[in-house]
């Protein structure tokens, strides 16, 4: 597996690069949205709309692909997120500059001395790929609207990481560190703060 710099949602500390990342322009990004396995079409539409509205990014649809058998972790009955990223890297095609994979299955990675730590999402910091699961979004949601808000917000968060945005100290910013709980996502505004918007070349909202 290639060495990569990663940031995890759900409050897992990222492996930071030794130099400061230069954030990239959000409006120049072309994000391929790819379903891994079966995925509800209305939620795909909502994710695409959220990325366009918040980041001014171009969103293109990639054909759905099956979840790769190489990512299956049988002892816990879920998929390894870093292996899903390996698959996603191979699916980027022009004009896309980065790819967002979405799945309904639970995902995990190794962190904090735990071999198989369940996560909401995983992404390349300043890279080209990220993956998000609905599983933890829906598990404690009071209704479908809250689950969808969590999913769309987290998708924007992870694509933000690929643009070079690190976790934000503003608890209302969608780039805030979730600190181990999906409930943190519920307390955000669902939008980037002014500082994060400036870092990716976006004007303040009207």
**Nearest by Cα to 133 from 116, 114, 147, 112:** 147
Can you give the pLDDT at residue 2?
39
Phi, psi of 110 (to 5 degrees): -95, 130
Please give the Cα distance from 116 to 31 (Å, whole number).
Answer: 28
Fold for 6-12+24-199, please state it. Answer: Collagenase (Catalytic Domain) (3.40.390)
Mean pLDDT of 67-84: 97
- The catalytic residues are 158
Q: What percent of the chain has pLDDT over 90?
A: 81
**Nearest by Cα to 131 from 25, 28, 29, 33:** 33
pLDDT above 70: residue 103: yes
Give pLDDT tens digits for 43-56: 999 999 999 999 99
Instruction: Indicate the pTM of the whole model.
Output: 0.89
Can you give the pLDDT at residue 161?
95
DSSP symbols for the chain: -----EEESTTPPP---SSPPPPPPGGG-EEEEEEBSS--HHHHHHHHHHHHHHH--EEEEPPPBPPPGGGEETTTTEEEHHHHHHHHHTT--TT-SEEEEEESS-EEEEETTEEEEEESEEEETTSSEEEEESHHHHHT-SSHHHHHHHHHHHHHHHHHHHTT---BS-TTBTTB--TT-THHHHTS-SB--HHHHHHTT-PPP-
pLDDT above 80: residue 205: no
pLDDT above 50: residue 15: no
Can you give the pLDDT at residue 112?
73
- Asked if 163 and 7 touch (Cβ cutoff 8 Å), the reply is no
Please give the Cα distance from 82 to 36 (Å, whole number).
Answer: 14
Q: What percent of the chain has pLDDT over 70?
A: 88
Q: pLDDT band for position 4 (50/70/90)? A: very low
Mean pLDDT of 148-168: 96
**Nearest by Cα to 100 from 31, 3, 151:** 31
Can you give the pLDDT at residue 204?
72
**Nearest by Cα to 48 from 38, 36, 35, 37:** 35
Give pLDDT tens digits for 53-66: 999 999 999 999 99
Mean pLDDT of 104-116: 91
Mean pLDDT of 160-170: 96
Can you give the pLDDT at residue 12?
37
């Amino acid at each position: 597996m290639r060495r990569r710099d990663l940031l995890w949602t759900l409050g897992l500390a990222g492996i930071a690069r030794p130099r400061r990342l230069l954030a990239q322009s959000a409006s120049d990004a072309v994000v391929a949205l790819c379903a891994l396995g079966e995925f509800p079409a209305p939620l795909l539409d909502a994710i695409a709309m959220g990325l366009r509205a918040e980041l001014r990014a171009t969103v293109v649809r990639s054909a759905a692909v099956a979840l790769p058998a190489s990512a299956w972790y049988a002892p816990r009955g879920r998929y390894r997120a870093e292996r899903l990223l390996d698959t996603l890297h191979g699916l980027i095609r022009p004009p896309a500059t980065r790819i967002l994979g979405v799945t309904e299955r639970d995902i995990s990675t190794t962190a904090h001395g735990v071999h198989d730590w369940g996560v909401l999402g995983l992404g390349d910091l300043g890279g080209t790929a990220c993956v998000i699961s609905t599983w933890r979004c829906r598990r404690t949601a009071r209704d479908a609207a809250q689950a969808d808000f969590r999913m769309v917000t987290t998708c924007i968060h992870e694509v933000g990481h690929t643009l070079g945005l690190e976790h934000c100290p503003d608890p209302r910013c969608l780039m805030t560190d979730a600190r181990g709980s999906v409930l943190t996502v519920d307390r955000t505004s669902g939008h980037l703060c002014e500082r994060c918007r400036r870092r990716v070349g976006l004007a303040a909202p009207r």
